[in-house]
Amino acid sequence: AHSFSLFLLLLPCSSYSTLLGWMESPGYPRGYLPHKSLNWTKCAPKGQTVSIRLIHLDLENSQDCENDAVKISSKGNLIALLCGKRDYKELQETVNPLLFSSPGGCLTLLFHSDYSNTERHTGFRGFYTLQDFNECEDEQINKCSHFCHNFLGGYHCSCRHGYQLDEDKHTCMVGCAEDLSGLKRGDISSLSWPEAYAENTNCKYTLSVEDNLQLELHFSEGFDVEQSPEGDCIDELRIETHSETLGPFCGNKPPPSPFLTHSSHVQIHFISDGSGTNKGFNIHFKTRGNVCRPVTSNSNVTHLKEEYHRGESVTVTCDLGYVYIYTEGTLSGPEQYGTTCQSNGAWAPMYACEIVDCGWPDLGRDSILQMVNPEDQNTKYGSRMQFYCTSKFYTLEGNDTSTCNADGEWTRMPNCNEVCGMPEPSSTARILGGKVATLGEVPWQLFITRPKFGAASLINDQWAVTAAHVVNDIPRESIQLYGGLIDTTTISRTDVSPIPIEKIIVHPSYRGALPQTNYDNDIALIKFTSKVKLGTNLLPICLPEVNRGVMEGEQGTVSGWGATFQDSNWNSTSDVLQYVDVPVYSLTKCGNTPSLYSKAMSFTNNMFCAGGKGADSCKGDSGGPFVSPMLSSGVGPHYLIGIVSWGAPCVRGGATGDKKGYYTKVENYVNWINEIKKNEAGS
């Protein structure tokens, strides 16, 4: 009875408190036994909290309460871990103030005892209550602008006289909407002017007059709208016309007076936040006859003035990089037009000067040249676009960026040029001084099998060069050309296809009548129907510089599938690509030409000759490359110095005699080759 009377004296004196019940450990107060437990949870309704008040605690004491313990938690978070003995005063002052839930939350109490106790402990006792939570005392919950009223399970807001509660049920605001349509003169002020305007204001004033008039606004002195120290508008005044929104205006500097709206219909919108003691604004409005404003959006006009009256005309010229648009499309020619001021204050005709758009460059779906991050690119005037080559067998020529110019074209578009004259390092050792080439060692070498046996050299991904006498007077569709191989027996496989040929262009000065005594200008170009896919085994050879000069003693490499000197029958050819390093002979030695078909042969400045002891090009090598530096040097890039053209029968002199082959001097034809490629690209 004594304990119960003490409990009654400690009850909170709140009209909202309700005592709901007791809680105690098993066997209280006689003492709890080993291996006992209690799991208790209580949840509060919305707007209320549940709390626990312990009035007695006597448990076995242990480090970190690992033996016997009371654990109290809320939302899974431990708020109290208790063991040992606590007197009533300590429980009241240090423990019980922590044992409450959040509004609408739950409290959980867990008790457990271990396997034994050295002495008897009575356990614990307490009571739980549900109590209304006063939201009005909690600043994190109470968002009422003016007044907060607490009730059992919740709260509500109210406002001072002259304000109404906003839709959020918390904010007290002043809303006003005044339609002054038809008035040609009057005043508009913020509420309470010149006293401080109300917080949370949202006011809209509408002015409307005849179409042949415009509204003119005059701001009184004392303009004062709240502004941050950084100059940003906290509260703001906006002026909206049929064509634009002006503002926001704030601070102590009003818009210039008179403020010409150039409109017969105006809305003035003023909003404020929940703080500040600023005065606001006062506007006197009146009307005047319509005038037209200068046309200055992305353009300039002749005879620029502050305003124009009905009937006055100007010429509008779009700024650089802008064009004006008719309904049917963009006009060509100078981007300017004439326009006249109308009685309603509008210009007619009126066209918008819009920024030039170059559009996406037409690169083609399979183009090697591609844009960097196309999703981030802009195609408007002045924008820059970056490009790259998607294959390691190409290099970017020129700047990697292009700019959209005022004519709607991309300037300085880069090109992806083929990497030339640089064979990939081979994993198979080269046979130095030998004859047999490995795959990819001479990747520019092309093989012509029909109707004549010969060769050609790849100079880019769509062109090859050969000797004119190999392809002269032969229809392009009858020529079978292969690339990317060294063993000609593989062309019988189904997966090896000839390169489709679009056209053959023989040098116009070549004369090919038989019996031939002059192989001057023995050069021809082969254009493919489409670009070939470059790779390790198919790469172009570089063209030499014009007038580089072919020097006596210069070492080069000639390659082909022609007859070998060891053949007893010089009409036979090799199945596998052969190459040999040979030096260039002197002009004197080259001028001493052999005879073919019992005719003396001509030596011209468009030729050079080369050979050595048992080393030379031979029958079937015609059209193939003579490159420098020689392949065995391992130094690149390699250049196409000559094209196999003609020479004496290979078997003369045997395998050890001096050989001499004649080559078309490619440097003399580089300009012709480039001109043909340029013309074909533009056709």
Residues 573-612 as b or e (16 or more Cβ within 10 Å = b): bbeebbbbbbebbeeeebeebeebeeeebebeebbbbbbe
Verify whether residue 522 is a known catalytic residue: yes
The gap from C-alpha 645 to its chain's centroid, in whole angstroms, comes to 53
Q: Cβ atoms within 10 A of the Cβ of 94, count?
A: 11
User: Is residue 226 annotated as involved in ligand binding?
Assistant: yes
Specify the DSSP element, H or E, that contains 567: none
User: Is residue 114 annotated as involved in ligand binding?
Assistant: yes
Residues 116-148 as b or e (16 or more Cβ within 10 Å = b): ebeeebbbbbbbbbbbbbbbbeeeeeeebbeeb
User: Is residue 154 annotated as involved in ligand binding?
Assistant: yes
The gap from C-alpha 54 to its chain's centroid, in whole angstroms, comes to 64
Q: How far apart are CA 206 and CA 557, in angstroms?
A: 91
638 burial level (CB within 10 Å; 0-12, 13-18, 19+): buried
What letter would DSSP give residue 135?
G
Q: How far apart are CA 263 and CA 159, in angstroms?
A: 38
Using alpha carbons, select from 653, 488, 650 the residue that is nearest to residue 570: 650
Verify whether residue 628 is a known catalytic residue: no
Q: How far apart are CA 509 and CA 583, in angstroms?
A: 28
310 φ/ψ angles, rounded to the nearest 5 degrees: -55, 130
User: Is residue 179 annotated as involved in ligand binding?
Assistant: no
Please tell me whether the peptide bond between 629 and the residue prior to it is cis, using omega within 30 degrees of 0: yes
**Distances in whole angstroms, Cα of residue 152 to Cα of each of 17, 56, 100, 505:** 10, 31, 18, 100
- Contact call for residues 369 and 363 (beta carbons, < 8 A): yes
Q: Given 56, 262, 469, 507, which residue is catalytic?
A: 469
Length in residues, the chain = 683
Q: How far apart are CA 219 and CA 285, in angstroms?
A: 9
Using alpha carbons, select from 562, 451, 473 the residue that is nearest to residue 524: 473
User: Is residue 60 annotated as involved in ligand binding?
Assistant: yes
**Distances in whole angstroms, Cα of residue 445 to Cα of each of 183, 426, 471, 484, 541:** 91, 16, 16, 8, 9
Residues 320-358 as b or e (16 or more Cβ within 10 Å = b): ebbbbeeeeeeeeeebbbebebeebbbbeeebebbbbeb
- Give me the residues paired with residue 147 across strands: 158
Please tell me whether residue 559 adopts helix, strand or coil conformation: strand
Using alpha carbons, select from 273, 317, 326, 325 the residue that is nearest to residue 298: 317
User: Is residue 210 annotated as involved in ligand binding?
Assistant: no
Verify whether residue 168 is a known catalytic residue: no
User: Is residue 199 annotated as involved in ligand binding?
Assistant: no
User: Is residue 167 annotated as involved in ligand binding?
Assistant: no
For the CA atoms of 567, 573, 576, 578, the dihedral, rounded to the nearest 10 degrees, stands at 70
Q: Given 520, 522, 581, 621, which residue is catalytic?
A: 522
Q: Cβ atoms within 10 A of the Cβ of 22, count?
A: 12
Name the strands in the sheet holding 77-82, side by side, starting at the edge strand that comes first in the sequence.
37-43, 106-112, 69-74, 77-82
* Sequence-distant (≥ 6) Cβ neighbours of residue 245 within 8 angstroms: 238, 239
Q: Given 272, 299, 617, 622, which residue is catalytic?
A: 622
User: Is residue 275 annotated as involved in ligand binding?
Assistant: yes
Q: How far apart are CA 519 and CA 601, in angstroms?
A: 8
* Sequence-distant (≥ 6) Cβ neighbours of residue 591 within 8 angstroms: 603
What letter would DSSP give residue 310?
T
User: Is residue 116 annotated as involved in ligand binding?
Assistant: yes
Which residues carry a binding-site annotation for Ca(2+)?
A: 60, 68, 114, 116, 132, 135, 150, 154, 226, 235, 273, 275
Q: Which residues are catalytic?
A: 469, 522, 622
Binding residue ranges: 60, 68, 114, 116, 132, 135, 150, 154, 226, 235, 273, 275
